[in-house]
Amino acid sequence: MNTQVTIAGVTFKNPVMTASGTFGSGMEYSDFVDLNKLGAVVTKGVANVPWEGNPTPRVAEVYGGMLNAIGLQNPGIDVFIKRDVPFLQKYDTKIIVNVCGKTVEDYLDVVERLGDQPVDMLEINVSCPNVKEGAIAFGQKPDSLYDITSQIKKKARQPVIMKLSPNVTDIAEMSRAAEAAGADALSMINTITGMKIDIHRKKFVLANKTGGMSGPAIKPVAVRMVYQAAQAVKIPIIGMGGIANAEDAIEFLLAGASAVAVGAMNFVNPYTTVEVVEGIEAYMQRYGMEKVTDLIGAVEG
Amino acid sequence: MVQKKKIKTTIVSQKQIAEQVYDLWLETRLAKDAHPGQFVAVYPNHESTLLPRPISICEVSEDKRRLRLVYRVAGKGTAEFASYGAEDSLEILGVLGNGFPIDKAKGKRVFLMGGGIGIPPMLELAKRLDCRKQILLGYRDKDLFLQEDLARYGDVYVATEDGSVGTKGNVMDIIKAHGLAADVIMACGPMPMLRAIKKYAGENKIEAYISLEERMACGVGACLGCVCRTTKVDAHSHVHNARICTDGPVFEAGEVDI
Protein backbone atom coordinates (compact mmCIF):
# COMPACT_ATOMS: atom_id res chain seq x y z
CA MET A 1 0.00 0.00 0.00
CA ASN A 2 1.49 3.32 -1.06
CA THR A 3 0.33 6.42 0.78
CA GLN A 4 2.91 8.76 -0.77
CA VAL A 5 1.95 11.86 -2.67
CA THR A 6 4.24 14.20 -4.60
CA ILE A 7 3.55 17.91 -4.88
CA ALA A 8 5.84 20.13 -6.96
CA GLY A 9 8.63 17.56 -6.73
CA VAL A 10 8.37 17.12 -2.95
CA THR A 11 7.33 13.65 -1.85
CA PHE A 12 5.28 13.32 1.34
CA LYS A 13 4.99 9.98 3.17
CA ASN A 14 1.24 10.50 3.31
CA PRO A 15 -1.17 13.23 2.27
CA VAL A 16 -1.92 14.47 5.80
CA MET A 17 -0.63 17.85 6.96
CA THR A 18 -1.46 20.41 9.62
CA ALA A 19 -3.24 23.63 8.72
CA SER A 20 -1.24 26.76 9.40
CA GLY A 21 -2.01 28.48 12.68
CA THR A 22 -3.59 25.46 14.34
CA PHE A 23 -0.44 23.56 15.23
CA GLY A 24 2.20 26.16 16.13
CA SER A 25 5.45 24.71 14.81
CA GLY A 26 4.51 21.29 16.12
CA MET A 27 6.14 21.69 19.54
CA GLU A 28 2.92 21.93 21.52
CA TYR A 29 1.34 18.94 19.78
CA SER A 30 4.42 16.71 19.96
CA ASP A 31 3.08 15.80 23.43
CA PHE A 32 0.13 14.13 21.73
CA VAL A 33 1.17 12.95 18.28
CA ASP A 34 4.32 11.51 16.76
CA LEU A 35 5.22 14.18 14.21
CA ASN A 36 7.13 11.51 12.25
CA LYS A 37 3.78 10.08 11.24
CA LEU A 38 2.62 13.23 9.43
CA GLY A 39 3.08 14.04 5.77
CA ALA A 40 4.11 17.57 6.69
CA VAL A 41 3.92 20.15 9.41
CA VAL A 42 2.71 23.48 8.07
CA THR A 43 3.81 26.15 10.50
CA LYS A 44 2.01 29.13 11.92
CA GLY A 45 2.47 32.18 9.68
CA VAL A 46 5.76 33.98 10.10
CA ALA A 47 6.57 37.57 9.09
CA ASN A 48 9.86 39.43 8.69
CA VAL A 49 9.50 41.00 12.15
CA PRO A 50 7.53 39.97 15.29
CA TRP A 51 3.81 40.76 15.19
CA GLU A 52 1.76 41.40 18.33
CA GLY A 53 -1.53 40.19 16.84
CA ASN A 54 -5.01 41.39 17.81
CA PRO A 55 -6.49 42.24 21.22
CA THR A 56 -8.46 39.55 23.09
CA PRO A 57 -10.96 37.92 22.99
CA ARG A 58 -9.46 36.33 19.92
CA VAL A 59 -11.52 33.15 19.75
CA ALA A 60 -15.18 32.24 20.01
CA GLU A 61 -17.16 29.08 19.55
CA VAL A 62 -19.97 28.91 17.00
CA TYR A 63 -22.30 26.05 16.11
CA GLY A 64 -20.11 23.26 14.76
CA GLY A 65 -17.08 25.49 14.48
CA MET A 66 -15.20 28.46 15.82
CA LEU A 67 -14.15 31.98 14.97
CA ASN A 68 -10.62 33.24 15.41
CA ALA A 69 -9.04 36.64 15.03
CA ILE A 70 -5.52 36.00 16.30
CA GLY A 71 -4.15 38.52 13.82
CA LEU A 72 -1.06 36.49 12.89
CA GLN A 73 0.86 36.99 16.11
CA ASN A 74 4.31 35.58 15.44
CA PRO A 75 7.86 35.89 16.77
CA GLY A 76 9.37 36.97 13.44
CA ILE A 77 11.64 35.12 11.04
CA ASP A 78 14.86 35.45 13.12
CA VAL A 79 13.46 33.55 16.10
CA PHE A 80 11.67 31.17 13.78
CA ILE A 81 14.88 30.17 12.02
CA LYS A 82 16.75 29.79 15.31
CA ARG A 83 14.09 27.90 17.23
CA ASP A 84 11.31 26.41 15.12
CA VAL A 85 13.16 25.16 12.05
CA PRO A 86 15.76 23.18 14.09
CA PHE A 87 12.94 21.71 16.19
CA LEU A 88 11.12 20.43 13.11
CA GLN A 89 14.33 19.15 11.53
CA LYS A 90 14.55 16.50 14.24
CA TYR A 91 11.53 14.79 12.74
CA ASP A 92 11.09 12.74 9.61
CA THR A 93 8.35 14.93 8.17
CA LYS A 94 8.30 17.65 5.56
CA ILE A 95 8.44 21.27 6.66
CA ILE A 96 6.18 23.83 5.02
CA VAL A 97 6.55 27.38 6.29
CA ASN A 98 3.57 29.69 6.10
CA VAL A 99 4.68 33.22 5.18
CA CYS A 100 2.77 36.42 5.93
CA GLY A 101 3.41 40.12 5.45
CA LYS A 102 1.90 43.57 5.36
CA THR A 103 3.57 44.55 2.10
CA VAL A 104 4.96 42.60 -0.85
CA GLU A 105 8.44 43.54 0.40
CA ASP A 106 7.69 41.91 3.77
CA TYR A 107 6.80 38.65 2.05
CA LEU A 108 9.87 38.79 -0.17
CA ASP A 109 12.06 39.42 2.87
CA VAL A 110 10.81 36.25 4.59
CA VAL A 111 10.97 34.20 1.40
CA GLU A 112 14.61 35.24 0.87
CA ARG A 113 15.56 34.53 4.46
CA LEU A 114 14.12 31.03 4.10
CA GLY A 115 16.01 30.43 0.85
CA ASP A 116 18.94 28.62 2.47
CA GLN A 117 16.92 26.98 5.22
CA PRO A 118 16.07 23.26 5.33
CA VAL A 119 12.40 23.82 4.60
CA ASP A 120 10.62 21.91 1.86
CA MET A 121 7.97 24.33 0.67
CA LEU A 122 6.62 27.80 1.30
CA GLU A 123 2.95 28.50 1.78
CA ILE A 124 2.08 32.12 1.09
CA ASN A 125 -0.72 33.49 3.23
CA VAL A 126 -2.73 35.84 1.05
CA SER A 127 -5.96 34.96 2.78
CA CYS A 128 -5.90 35.75 6.51
CA PRO A 129 -9.08 37.79 7.10
CA ASN A 130 -7.98 39.19 10.48
CA VAL A 131 -5.31 41.77 9.73
CA LYS A 132 -5.79 45.30 8.49
CA GLU A 133 -2.83 45.34 6.13
CA GLY A 134 -1.53 42.62 3.84
CA ALA A 135 -2.65 39.00 3.77
CA ILE A 136 -6.19 38.91 2.36
CA ALA A 137 -5.63 42.29 0.67
CA PHE A 138 -3.48 40.37 -1.83
CA GLY A 139 -5.86 37.48 -2.19
CA GLN A 140 -9.21 38.86 -3.20
CA LYS A 141 -8.48 40.26 -6.66
CA PRO A 142 -6.97 38.15 -9.45
CA ASP A 143 -4.57 40.96 -10.51
CA SER A 144 -3.05 41.47 -7.07
CA LEU A 145 -2.83 37.72 -6.50
CA TYR A 146 -1.07 37.34 -9.85
CA ASP A 147 1.31 40.17 -9.01
CA ILE A 148 2.39 38.94 -5.56
CA THR A 149 2.63 35.34 -6.75
CA SER A 150 4.94 36.20 -9.63
CA GLN A 151 7.14 38.41 -7.44
CA ILE A 152 7.47 35.66 -4.84
CA LYS A 153 8.19 33.04 -7.47
CA LYS A 154 11.13 35.14 -8.71
CA LYS A 155 12.75 35.07 -5.26
CA ALA A 156 11.69 31.72 -3.82
CA ARG A 157 14.18 28.87 -3.68
CA GLN A 158 11.51 26.38 -2.59
CA PRO A 159 8.26 25.46 -4.34
CA VAL A 160 5.47 27.94 -3.59
CA ILE A 161 1.96 27.12 -2.41
CA MET A 162 -0.51 30.00 -2.56
CA LYS A 163 -3.08 29.71 0.22
CA LEU A 164 -6.37 31.03 -1.06
CA SER A 165 -9.33 32.63 0.61
CA PRO A 166 -12.90 31.40 0.35
CA ASN A 167 -14.03 35.03 0.69
CA VAL A 168 -14.09 35.54 -3.07
CA THR A 169 -16.76 35.43 -5.76
CA ASP A 170 -15.01 33.00 -8.09
CA ILE A 171 -12.43 30.59 -6.68
CA ALA A 172 -11.72 29.17 -10.16
CA GLU A 173 -10.66 32.59 -11.42
CA MET A 174 -8.40 33.14 -8.38
CA SER A 175 -6.87 29.69 -8.81
CA ARG A 176 -6.13 30.35 -12.47
CA ALA A 177 -4.50 33.69 -11.61
CA ALA A 178 -2.12 32.00 -9.14
CA GLU A 179 -1.34 29.22 -11.59
CA ALA A 180 -0.67 31.67 -14.42
CA ALA A 181 1.75 33.57 -12.16
CA GLY A 182 3.75 30.41 -11.58
CA ALA A 183 2.42 29.03 -8.28
CA ASP A 184 3.54 25.44 -7.80
CA ALA A 185 0.48 24.48 -5.77
CA LEU A 186 -2.60 25.91 -4.07
CA SER A 187 -4.00 25.36 -0.61
CA MET A 188 -7.56 26.11 0.37
CA ILE A 189 -9.62 27.12 2.13
CA ASN A 190 -8.52 29.68 4.67
CA THR A 191 -11.26 30.66 7.11
CA ILE A 192 -14.58 32.21 6.12
CA THR A 193 -15.16 35.67 7.59
CA GLY A 194 -17.78 35.53 10.32
CA MET A 195 -19.16 37.39 13.31
CA LYS A 196 -20.73 36.61 16.68
CA ILE A 197 -22.66 38.97 18.92
CA ASP A 198 -23.25 38.52 22.66
CA ILE A 199 -26.94 39.38 22.96
CA HIS A 200 -26.81 39.87 26.74
CA ARG A 201 -23.97 42.38 26.67
CA LYS A 202 -24.96 43.70 23.22
CA LYS A 203 -21.32 43.47 22.19
CA PHE A 204 -19.20 41.69 19.60
CA VAL A 205 -17.70 38.53 21.09
CA LEU A 206 -14.36 39.08 19.34
CA ALA A 207 -12.36 42.24 20.01
CA ASN A 208 -11.75 42.38 16.25
CA LYS A 209 -15.53 42.21 15.63
CA THR A 210 -15.04 39.77 12.74
CA GLY A 211 -13.12 36.52 12.75
CA GLY A 212 -12.33 33.61 10.47
CA MET A 213 -14.69 30.68 10.79
CA SER A 214 -13.29 27.16 10.79
CA GLY A 215 -14.39 23.72 11.93
CA PRO A 216 -16.71 20.99 10.63
CA ALA A 217 -19.49 23.47 9.80
CA ILE A 218 -17.46 24.91 6.89
CA LYS A 219 -16.48 21.58 5.31
CA PRO A 220 -19.09 21.48 2.51
CA VAL A 221 -18.01 24.95 1.36
CA ALA A 222 -14.38 23.86 1.37
CA VAL A 223 -15.03 20.63 -0.56
CA ARG A 224 -16.97 22.58 -3.18
CA MET A 225 -14.18 25.13 -3.59
CA VAL A 226 -11.47 22.47 -3.87
CA TYR A 227 -13.54 20.75 -6.54
CA GLN A 228 -14.06 23.99 -8.50
CA ALA A 229 -10.37 24.87 -8.26
CA ALA A 230 -9.31 21.37 -9.28
CA GLN A 231 -11.49 21.68 -12.38
CA ALA A 232 -9.86 25.01 -13.23
CA VAL A 233 -6.13 24.36 -12.78
CA LYS A 234 -3.51 21.66 -13.34
CA ILE A 235 -1.33 22.43 -10.30
CA PRO A 236 -1.90 20.33 -7.16
CA ILE A 237 -4.23 21.48 -4.39
CA ILE A 238 -3.93 20.94 -0.65
CA GLY A 239 -7.48 20.80 0.68
CA MET A 240 -8.64 21.83 4.13
CA GLY A 241 -11.65 23.15 5.99
CA GLY A 242 -13.30 21.29 8.85
CA ILE A 243 -11.54 17.94 8.43
CA ALA A 244 -12.33 15.90 11.55
CA ASN A 245 -11.59 12.35 10.42
CA ALA A 246 -10.41 10.17 7.53
CA GLU A 247 -13.84 10.20 5.86
CA ASP A 248 -13.67 13.99 5.62
CA ALA A 249 -10.11 13.85 4.29
CA ILE A 250 -11.07 11.32 1.61
CA GLU A 251 -13.89 13.60 0.46
CA PHE A 252 -11.31 16.31 -0.21
CA LEU A 253 -9.06 13.88 -2.10
CA LEU A 254 -11.97 12.69 -4.24
CA ALA A 255 -12.88 16.33 -4.94
CA GLY A 256 -9.42 16.84 -6.39
CA ALA A 257 -7.04 17.61 -3.51
CA SER A 258 -3.61 15.96 -3.65
CA ALA A 259 -3.18 16.33 0.09
CA VAL A 260 -5.21 17.54 3.06
CA ALA A 261 -4.64 19.54 6.21
CA VAL A 262 -6.25 19.25 9.64
CA GLY A 263 -6.97 22.61 11.27
CA ALA A 264 -9.41 23.56 14.00
CA MET A 265 -10.05 19.92 14.89
CA ASN A 266 -6.57 19.74 16.40
CA PHE A 267 -8.05 21.85 19.20
CA VAL A 268 -10.96 19.49 19.63
CA ASN A 269 -8.98 16.28 19.43
CA PRO A 270 -5.20 16.68 19.49
CA TYR A 271 -4.80 13.18 17.99
CA THR A 272 -6.84 14.01 14.84
CA THR A 273 -3.92 14.18 12.39
CA VAL A 274 -2.65 10.68 13.16
CA GLU A 275 -6.19 9.28 13.28
CA VAL A 276 -6.72 10.66 9.75
CA VAL A 277 -3.51 8.98 8.53
CA GLU A 278 -4.59 5.65 10.03
CA GLY A 279 -8.15 6.03 8.76
CA ILE A 280 -7.00 6.64 5.19
CA GLU A 281 -4.90 3.46 5.37
CA ALA A 282 -7.88 1.51 6.68
CA TYR A 283 -10.05 2.85 3.83
CA MET A 284 -7.43 1.84 1.24
CA GLN A 285 -7.26 -1.63 2.75
CA ARG A 286 -11.03 -1.97 2.77
CA TYR A 287 -11.28 -1.12 -0.92
CA GLY A 288 -8.07 -2.93 -1.91
CA MET A 289 -6.37 0.22 -3.14
CA GLU A 290 -2.69 0.19 -4.03
CA LYS A 291 -1.99 3.91 -4.17
CA VAL A 292 -3.55 6.80 -2.34
CA THR A 293 -3.07 8.91 -5.46
CA ASP A 294 -5.83 6.88 -7.10
CA LEU A 295 -8.24 8.80 -4.90
CA ILE A 296 -7.23 12.23 -6.15
CA GLY A 297 -10.08 13.75 -8.17
CA ALA A 298 -11.72 10.35 -8.46
CA VAL A 299 -15.24 11.54 -7.75
CA GLU A 300 -17.52 10.31 -10.52
CA GLY A 301 -20.30 11.99 -12.45
CA MET B 1 7.32 18.25 32.77
CA VAL B 2 4.39 15.91 32.92
CA GLN B 3 2.98 14.93 29.57
CA LYS B 4 -0.46 16.34 28.78
CA LYS B 5 -3.14 13.87 27.84
CA LYS B 6 -6.70 13.83 26.60
CA ILE B 7 -8.51 11.06 28.40
CA LYS B 8 -11.95 9.77 29.28
CA THR B 9 -12.93 10.17 32.91
CA THR B 10 -15.83 8.92 34.98
CA ILE B 11 -17.95 11.16 37.14
CA VAL B 12 -17.90 10.04 40.78
CA SER B 13 -20.49 12.56 41.96
CA GLN B 14 -21.97 15.90 41.13
CA LYS B 15 -24.16 18.28 43.09
CA GLN B 16 -25.25 21.89 42.89
CA ILE B 17 -23.77 23.97 45.71
CA ALA B 18 -24.99 27.48 44.83
CA GLU B 19 -27.00 29.26 42.15
CA GLN B 20 -25.54 27.95 38.85
CA VAL B 21 -22.47 26.57 40.69
CA TYR B 22 -21.73 22.83 40.51
CA ASP B 23 -19.39 20.60 42.46
CA LEU B 24 -18.03 17.73 40.37
CA TRP B 25 -15.69 14.89 41.34
CA LEU B 26 -13.97 12.99 38.51
CA GLU B 27 -12.06 9.72 38.68
CA THR B 28 -8.91 10.29 36.63
CA ARG B 29 -5.23 9.40 36.63
CA LEU B 30 -4.51 13.04 35.76
CA ALA B 31 -5.15 13.80 39.45
CA LYS B 32 -1.76 12.34 40.35
CA ASP B 33 0.15 15.25 38.84
CA ALA B 34 -2.30 18.07 39.46
CA HIS B 35 -0.95 21.20 41.11
CA PRO B 36 -3.05 24.00 42.65
CA GLY B 37 -3.77 26.75 40.15
CA GLN B 38 -3.60 24.38 37.20
CA PHE B 39 -6.68 23.55 35.16
CA VAL B 40 -8.19 20.92 32.94
CA ALA B 41 -10.06 21.44 29.68
CA VAL B 42 -13.38 19.62 29.71
CA TYR B 43 -15.01 18.59 26.42
CA PRO B 44 -18.77 18.80 25.94
CA ASN B 45 -20.13 15.66 24.27
CA HIS B 46 -22.56 17.49 21.98
CA GLU B 47 -20.97 17.79 18.56
CA SER B 48 -22.06 21.39 18.00
CA THR B 49 -19.89 22.49 20.93
CA LEU B 50 -16.38 21.70 19.83
CA LEU B 51 -13.98 23.45 22.12
CA PRO B 52 -13.01 22.25 25.58
CA ARG B 53 -13.96 24.42 28.58
CA PRO B 54 -11.05 25.43 30.82
CA ILE B 55 -11.97 24.72 34.46
CA SER B 56 -9.67 25.20 37.42
CA ILE B 57 -8.75 22.36 39.73
CA CYS B 58 -10.50 22.87 43.05
CA GLU B 59 -9.22 19.88 44.96
CA VAL B 60 -7.29 16.63 44.58
CA SER B 61 -8.40 13.62 46.63
CA GLU B 62 -6.09 12.18 49.32
CA ASP B 63 -5.40 9.09 47.18
CA LYS B 64 -4.67 11.36 44.17
CA ARG B 65 -7.11 9.46 42.00
CA ARG B 66 -9.87 12.03 41.82
CA LEU B 67 -10.17 15.67 40.82
CA ARG B 68 -12.76 18.08 42.13
CA LEU B 69 -13.99 20.79 39.77
CA VAL B 70 -16.28 23.55 40.98
CA TYR B 71 -17.62 25.58 38.06
CA ARG B 72 -20.36 28.00 37.13
CA VAL B 73 -22.79 27.29 34.31
CA ALA B 74 -22.02 30.01 31.78
CA GLY B 75 -23.24 28.60 28.48
CA LYS B 76 -24.13 25.50 26.49
CA GLY B 77 -21.01 23.50 27.36
CA THR B 78 -21.13 23.97 31.12
CA ALA B 79 -24.92 23.46 31.08
CA GLU B 80 -24.26 20.07 29.50
CA PHE B 81 -21.70 19.18 32.21
CA ALA B 82 -24.25 20.14 34.87
CA SER B 83 -26.74 17.65 33.43
CA TYR B 84 -24.48 14.68 34.19
CA GLY B 85 -24.31 12.51 37.29
CA ALA B 86 -22.36 9.63 38.79
CA GLU B 87 -21.12 6.99 36.28
CA ASP B 88 -21.45 9.37 33.31
CA SER B 89 -18.23 10.03 31.45
CA LEU B 90 -16.47 13.18 30.31
CA GLU B 91 -13.35 13.70 28.25
CA ILE B 92 -10.75 16.02 29.67
CA LEU B 93 -7.39 17.37 28.57
CA GLY B 94 -4.85 18.01 31.25
CA VAL B 95 -3.29 18.89 33.41
CA LEU B 96 -2.73 22.33 31.94
CA GLY B 97 -0.99 25.54 32.97
CA ASN B 98 1.65 26.32 35.56
CA GLY B 99 -0.16 26.70 38.89
CA PHE B 100 0.70 28.78 41.95
CA PRO B 101 4.33 28.91 43.15
CA ILE B 102 3.86 27.21 46.52
CA ASP B 103 7.49 27.62 47.59
CA LYS B 104 7.19 31.40 47.53
CA ALA B 105 4.77 31.29 50.45
CA LYS B 106 6.65 29.00 52.80
CA GLY B 107 6.68 30.39 56.32
CA LYS B 108 5.16 33.71 55.27
CA ARG B 109 1.89 35.52 55.93
CA VAL B 110 -0.24 34.87 52.87
CA PHE B 111 -3.52 36.21 51.54
CA LEU B 112 -5.44 33.68 49.47
CA MET B 113 -7.96 35.82 47.66
CA GLY B 114 -10.82 34.37 45.64
CA GLY B 115 -13.65 36.22 43.97
CA GLY B 116 -16.77 34.41 42.74
CA ILE B 117 -15.91 31.46 40.54
CA GLY B 118 -12.24 32.31 41.20
CA ILE B 119 -12.65 30.81 44.68
CA PRO B 120 -12.36 27.09 43.78
CA PRO B 121 -8.58 26.96 43.05
CA MET B 122 -7.96 28.46 46.50
CA LEU B 123 -8.98 25.18 48.16
CA GLU B 124 -6.21 22.89 46.92
CA LEU B 125 -3.82 25.82 47.28
CA ALA B 126 -4.84 26.28 50.93
CA LYS B 127 -4.34 22.56 51.53
CA ARG B 128 -0.81 22.56 50.18
CA LEU B 129 0.54 25.86 51.49
CA ASP B 130 2.75 25.68 54.56
CA CYS B 131 2.35 29.17 56.00
CA ARG B 132 -0.02 31.48 57.84
CA LYS B 133 -3.12 31.52 55.67
CA GLN B 134 -5.66 34.34 55.59
CA ILE B 135 -8.37 33.36 53.12
CA LEU B 136 -10.36 36.29 51.72
CA LEU B 137 -13.46 35.38 49.76
CA GLY B 138 -15.73 37.65 47.75
CA TYR B 139 -19.27 36.67 46.81
CA ARG B 140 -22.20 38.45 45.19
CA ASP B 141 -24.64 37.67 48.04
CA LYS B 142 -25.37 35.17 50.82
CA ASP B 143 -25.33 32.28 48.35
CA LEU B 144 -21.87 31.21 49.58
CA PHE B 145 -19.94 28.11 48.51
CA LEU B 146 -16.70 26.36 49.59
CA GLN B 147 -16.21 28.67 52.58
CA GLU B 148 -16.63 25.76 55.02
CA ASP B 149 -14.10 23.62 53.13
CA LEU B 150 -11.64 26.51 53.15
CA ALA B 151 -12.13 27.23 56.85
CA ARG B 152 -10.38 23.92 57.61
CA TYR B 153 -7.10 25.31 56.27
CA GLY B 154 -6.95 28.92 57.43
CA ASP B 155 -8.77 31.99 58.72
CA VAL B 156 -11.65 32.73 56.36
CA TYR B 157 -13.00 36.26 55.86
CA VAL B 158 -16.05 36.83 53.68
CA ALA B 159 -17.25 39.87 51.75
CA THR B 160 -20.52 40.15 49.85
CA GLU B 161 -21.44 42.81 47.33
CA ASP B 162 -24.85 43.30 48.92
CA GLY B 163 -23.51 43.15 52.48
CA SER B 164 -25.73 40.18 53.41
CA VAL B 165 -22.76 38.25 54.89
CA GLY B 166 -19.45 39.55 56.25
CA THR B 167 -17.93 42.78 55.01
CA LYS B 168 -20.01 44.76 52.50
CA GLY B 169 -18.01 45.12 49.30
CA ASN B 170 -15.23 42.97 47.88
CA VAL B 171 -12.06 41.22 49.01
CA MET B 172 -10.15 44.52 49.12
CA ASP B 173 -12.69 45.86 51.61
CA ILE B 174 -11.95 42.87 53.88
CA ILE B 175 -8.30 43.96 54.18
CA LYS B 176 -9.39 47.42 55.33
CA ALA B 177 -12.24 46.27 57.58
CA HIS B 178 -10.07 43.79 59.49
CA GLY B 179 -6.73 45.61 59.25
CA LEU B 180 -5.06 42.56 57.70
CA ALA B 181 -1.53 42.36 56.32
CA ALA B 182 0.44 39.83 54.27
CA ASP B 183 3.84 39.21 52.65
CA VAL B 184 2.51 37.27 49.66
CA ILE B 185 -0.80 37.27 47.79
CA MET B 186 -2.22 34.44 45.69
CA ALA B 187 -5.46 35.29 43.93
CA CYS B 188 -8.03 34.27 41.37
CA GLY B 189 -11.16 36.17 40.41
CA PRO B 190 -12.68 38.70 38.06
CA MET B 191 -10.43 41.21 36.29
CA PRO B 192 -11.43 44.31 38.35
CA MET B 193 -10.48 42.40 41.52
CA LEU B 194 -7.14 41.31 40.04
CA ARG B 195 -6.41 44.88 38.96
CA ALA B 196 -7.12 46.12 42.49
CA ILE B 197 -4.85 43.44 43.93
CA LYS B 198 -2.05 44.30 41.51
CA LYS B 199 -2.31 47.96 42.52
CA TYR B 200 -2.44 47.14 46.27
CA ALA B 201 0.51 44.75 45.97
CA GLY B 202 2.53 47.35 44.06
CA GLU B 203 1.83 50.08 46.60
CA ASN B 204 2.63 47.84 49.55
CA LYS B 205 5.61 46.06 47.93
CA ILE B 206 3.99 42.66 48.28
CA GLU B 207 4.63 39.72 45.98
CA ALA B 208 1.37 38.86 44.23
CA TYR B 209 0.51 35.89 42.04
CA ILE B 210 -2.72 36.20 40.09
CA SER B 211 -4.55 33.65 37.98
CA LEU B 212 -5.92 35.02 34.71
CA GLU B 213 -8.59 33.74 32.39
CA GLU B 214 -9.40 34.28 28.73
CA ARG B 215 -11.36 32.55 25.98
CA MET B 216 -9.30 29.57 24.86
CA ALA B 217 -9.28 27.18 21.95
CA CYS B 218 -6.45 24.63 22.08
CA GLY B 219 -5.44 24.89 25.75
CA VAL B 220 -1.89 23.77 24.95
CA GLY B 221 -0.20 26.93 23.67
CA ALA B 222 -0.55 26.43 19.92
CA CYS B 223 -3.42 28.65 18.80
CA LEU B 224 -2.42 31.89 20.59
CA GLY B 225 -6.07 32.61 21.35
CA CYS B 226 -5.76 33.19 25.11
CA VAL B 227 -2.92 35.67 25.41
CA CYS B 228 -2.52 38.45 27.95
CA ARG B 229 -0.41 41.58 27.66
CA THR B 230 2.99 41.35 29.34
CA THR B 231 5.08 44.22 30.65
CA LYS B 232 8.26 42.83 29.06
CA VAL B 233 8.82 41.00 25.79
CA ASP B 234 7.77 37.41 26.45
CA ALA B 235 10.48 34.76 26.07
CA HIS B 236 8.34 32.47 23.95
CA SER B 237 6.28 34.84 21.80
CA HIS B 238 8.97 37.53 21.42
CA VAL B 239 6.18 40.13 21.64
CA HIS B 240 4.28 41.58 24.62
CA ASN B 241 1.96 38.60 24.87
CA ALA B 242 2.06 35.50 27.04
CA ARG B 243 -0.16 32.45 26.62
CA ILE B 244 -2.49 32.14 29.59
CA CYS B 245 -3.00 28.41 29.00
CA THR B 246 0.70 27.54 28.98
CA ASP B 247 2.78 30.38 30.43
CA GLY B 248 -0.01 31.00 32.98
CA PRO B 249 -2.71 31.00 34.12
CA VAL B 250 -0.78 32.21 37.18
CA PHE B 251 1.47 35.22 36.66
CA GLU B 252 3.43 37.40 39.02
CA ALA B 253 1.30 40.56 38.99
CA GLY B 254 4.16 42.77 37.82
CA GLU B 255 4.69 40.62 34.73
CA VAL B 256 1.29 41.36 33.23
CA ASP B 257 -0.35 44.50 31.97
CA ILE B 258 -3.98 44.03 32.96
Domain-wise residue ranges, chain A: 5-50+71-193+214-295
Min distance B161 CA to chain A CA atoms (Å): 21
Distance CA B78, CA B15 (A): 14
| pLDDT per residue as tens digits for the range B184-203 | 999 999 999 999 999 999 99
pLDDT in tens, A161-205: 999 999 999 999 999 999 999 999 999 999 999 999 999 999 999
Percent of chain A with pLDDT over 70: 100
Contacts of A52 in chain B (CB under 8 A): 239-241
Contact partners, residue A271, CB within 8 Å, separation at least 6: A32, A33, B6
Separation of alpha carbons A111 and A81, rounded Å = 12
Can you give the length of chain B in residues?
258
Q: What percent of chain A has pLDDT over 90?
A: 96
**Quick check: B2 pLDDT over 80?**
no
pLDDT in tens, B150-166: 999 999 999 999 999 99
Q: Which is more confident, B1 or A256?
A: A256
Residues written for chain A: 301
* Domain extent listing, chain B: 5-96, 109-202
Please determine, for residue A136, whether its predicted confidence score (pLDDT) is greater than 90. Answer: no
Q: Domain A5-50+71-193+214-295 carries which CATH code?
A: 3.20.20.70
Domain B109-202, CATH class in plain words: alpha beta
Q: What is each CA distance from A219 to A40, A189, B228, in whole angstroms? A: 21, 9, 31
pLDDT for B133 equals 97
Task: Inform me whether the pLDDT recorded for B168 exceeds 80.
Answer: yes
Q: Name the residue among B222, B217, B216 with its Cα closest to residue A31.
A: B222
Q: Which residue of chain A comes nearest to B43, CA vs CA?
A: A268
Average confidence (pLDDT) over A16-27: 97
- pTM of the entire predicted model: 0.96
Q: Which of B6, B215, B236 sits opposite A60 (nearest CB)?
A: B215
The residues of A assigned a catalytic role are 128
Q: Which residues of A touch B226 (CB under 8 A)?
A: 56, 58-59
Q: In this predicted structure, what is the pLDDT of residue A134?
A: 78
Kindly state the average pLDDT of the residues A95-104: 97
Flag if B214 and A267 touch (Cβ within 8 Å): no
Residue B1 pLDDT class (50, 70, 90 cuts)? low
- Inspect the interface and report whether the beta carbons of A29 and B239 lie closer than 8 Å: no
Q: B242 to chain A: which residues are within 8 Å by CB?
A: none
> Average pLDDT of B51-79?
97
**Dist. CA A52–CA B238, nearest whole Å:** 9
**Do the Cβ atoms of B238 and A58 come within 8 Å?**
no
Q: Does domain B5-96 match CATH 2.40.30.10?
A: yes
pLDDT tens digits, A243-301: 999 999 999 999 999 999 999 999 999 999 999 999 999 999 999 999 999 999 999 98
Assess contact for B255 and B230: CB atoms under 8 A.
yes
- How far apart are the CA of A241 and the nearest CA of chain B, in angstroms? 15
